[in-house]
Amino acid sequence: MPAEPLPPAPGAPAWFARALAVPFEDNAVEVDGTRIHYLSWGERGRRGLVFVHGGGAHAHWWTHVAAQFAADFRVVAVDLSGHGDSDHRELYALEQWTSEVMAAANDAGIDGPPVVVGHSMGGFVTIATAALHGDGLAGVIICDSPVTAPDPEVESFRLKEAFGKPRTYSSVEEALARFRTVPPQDHYLDYVIDHVGRRSLKPVEGGWQWKFDRHIFEQFAEGMRSIALPYLDSVRSRFALLRSENGLVTPDLGNFMYERLGRVAPVIEIPEAGHHAMLDQPLILLTALRTLLADWDHSEPQRRAS
């Protein structure tokens, strides 16, 4: 159903206000008995883009980027189970999250195989989606997902540096003052943080809490590397890796992924970006995505050796 956008923070630039004003819908689809929420922009029946958030995040982390493709694509941003406005599960599985991504894409009325874009933990989900559902995808773009290192969100939980016991805040403003990303980075755009933070909260008795399910990080306390890494060898769809200059995918990790993907997937650096590029360099990230999609429209993919 049509959704009501939140106004941007005072002082936000015009491009950001325009992105938030693009009409979108709140939709949901059931996957294995759990309600999965997703956002959608643009007309049904168009080719598709699907955006997948990182651990502890939600679909609206992508709003100011995803909405800018609405004139040409049917655009979807999914809340994985345990995140955002989707229901929680007793147990979570990488493979089940891939089913949620595909279910949202199919329910949204996308014409043909979509391109899936995943950030951080969402990149691990996207890699597994490409391996398990490759025939249903036109390509995947991964944003700073270090598949050979411990997942940053999970590692921080294990070290008890983040995602601790639920805390109830008396007001939205109090909660926003405590909003932190995992991992932290040196630079953020305040108006983006304000938007993402406000969409991260839910009302509860006595105040406000963050929406994500902390049990996810208890379950994956050993890290996701052992889960995501094997899927790299099974990816056959078009693939690109965007690594943040100041993020978690180091040049060495980028080279490792390039080799494991058969030396046919470009590895592109987002200059001056931290791990969460949509929070500090969204326009550079947007340009990188547009460039890749334009190239994929007019070029033949290289194929990895069998």
Q: Are 63 and 38 in contact, with CB atoms under 8 Å apart?
A: no
Kindly report the average pLDDT of the chain as a whole number. Answer: 92
**Cα 263 to Cα 250: distance, rounded to the nearest angstrom:** 17
In-domain check, residue 34: yes
In-domain check, residue 197: yes
Confidence of residue 159 (pLDDT cuts 50, 70, 90): very low
Q: Are 110 and 76 in contact, with CB atoms under 8 Å apart?
A: yes
In-domain check, residue 213: yes
CA nearest 228: which of 156, 150, 153, 165? 150
In-domain check, residue 82: yes
In-domain check, residue 293: yes
Average pLDDT over residues 46-63: 97
Name the least confident of 5-14, 68-77, 157-166. 157-166
What would the pLDDT profile of 104-120 be if each residue is shown by its tens digit?
999 999 999 999 999 99
Q: Are 79 and 36 in contact, with CB atoms under 8 Å apart?
A: yes
Residues for the chain: how many in total? 306
In-domain check, residue 5: no
Say whether pLDDT at 99 is over 60.
yes
Dihedral angle of Cα 287, 240, 151, 251, to the nearest 10 degrees = -90
Q: Give the chain's domain count.
A: 1
Average pLDDT over residues 87-106: 97
- For tokens 């590692």, what's the residue? 155
Domain boundaries, position 123: 14-298
In-domain check, residue 39: yes
Say whether pLDDT at 102 is over 60.
yes
In-domain check, residue 216: yes
Q: At 265, which CATH number?
A: 3.40.50.1820
Q: What does residue 177 show for φ and ψ, rounded to 5 degrees?
A: -65, -20
